[in-house]
């Protein structure tokens, strides 16, 4: 095999290794790899097998080191390929409190209280969450409590893509659903979250209207939001995606 081809193969190996380990270089391993390539000489089949072994090892290393977590709203379990860290109840501040915290949280369903109990006079409050989906595709869920699950995956860079239930190139779909938030007229601010497109109710949920933290569908309003491509009145979809080249 011409020396130039050996050098090209070696440089490809270095580039792949750098993408996994950063810019750290191991001169001893590099020398071994280069000597292996030289020893292979014209034995193309042997060289191909060795390079495939390297590729497999590097891919295993990348898989083992690239992890992330996300919250799956509306479900108590994680999708296939994800590990359930814990499941619980969607919760947050009361929809009418002007000093409320804006974010939704996935509250553990197995609370543990500190033995050093006190009753301070000035606090914030946390409430469970309910679907507000009357006269919609989820009418049967209206006023029911919302479950959630924290999921761990052997992939990196989880993103929520609002406006579509497809993921960008090189990203894998964790789950698809609908963009939801609090109501625009309520005093408490909220965030936009992606609720699973096949939602269920939380354990022990009832249809009692207790309010608390609320989940409403989100619809487009034309103007500064361009129509087309958006269409006024239609519910906004979303997807939770993880990087998987």
Q: What does the pLDDT read at residue 36? A: 62
Provide the token pair at 176: 């698809």
Query: Tens digits of per-residue pLDDT, 19-59?
Result: 555 555 566 666 665 566 566 555 666 777 777 777 777 76
Q: Do 147 and 74 form a contact (C-beta atoms < 8 A)?
A: yes
DSSP letter (8 states) at residue 97: -
Question: What Cα–Cα distance (Å) separates residue 102 from each residue in 68, 204, 218?
Answer: 23, 25, 16
CA triplet 83, 87, 90: central angle to 5 degrees?
135
Residue 16 has pLDDT above 70, yes or no: no
Query: Tens digits of per-residue pLDDT, 198-227?
Result: 999 998 888 889 999 999 999 999 999 888
Report field, pTM of the whole predicted structure over 0.75: no
């Amino acid at each position: 095999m011409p020396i130039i081809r050996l050098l090209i193969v070696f440089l490809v190996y270095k580039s792949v290794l750098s993408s996994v380990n950063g810019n750290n270089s191991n001169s001893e391993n590099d020398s071994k790899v280069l000597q292996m390539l030289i020893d292979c000489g014209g034995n193309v089949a042997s060289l191909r097998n060795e390079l495939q072994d390297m590729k497999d090892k590097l891919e295993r290393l990348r898989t083992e080191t690239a992890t992330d977590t996300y919250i799956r709203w509306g479900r108590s379990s994680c999708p296939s390929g994800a590990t359930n860290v814990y499941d619980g109840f969607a919760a947050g501040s009361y929809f009418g409190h002007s000093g409320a915290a804006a974010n939704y949280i996935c509250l553990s369903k197995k609370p543990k209280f500190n033995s050093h109990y006190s009753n301070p006079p000035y606090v914030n409050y946390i409430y469970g969450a309910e679907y507000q989906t009357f006269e919609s595709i989820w009418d049967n869920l209206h006023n029911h409590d919302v479950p959630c699950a924290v999921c761990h995956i052997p992939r990196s860079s989880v993103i929520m893509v609002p406006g579509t239930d497809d993921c960008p190139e090189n990203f894998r779909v964790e789950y698809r659903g609908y963009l939801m938030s609090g109501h625009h007229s309520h005093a408490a601010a909220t965030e936009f979250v992606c609720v699973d497109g096949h939602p269920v109710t939380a354990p022990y949920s009832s249809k009692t209207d207790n309010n608390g933290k609320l989940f409403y569908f989100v619809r487009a309003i034309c103007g500064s939001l361009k129509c087309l491509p958006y269409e006024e009145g239609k519910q906004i979809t979303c997807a939770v995606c993880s990087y998987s080249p």
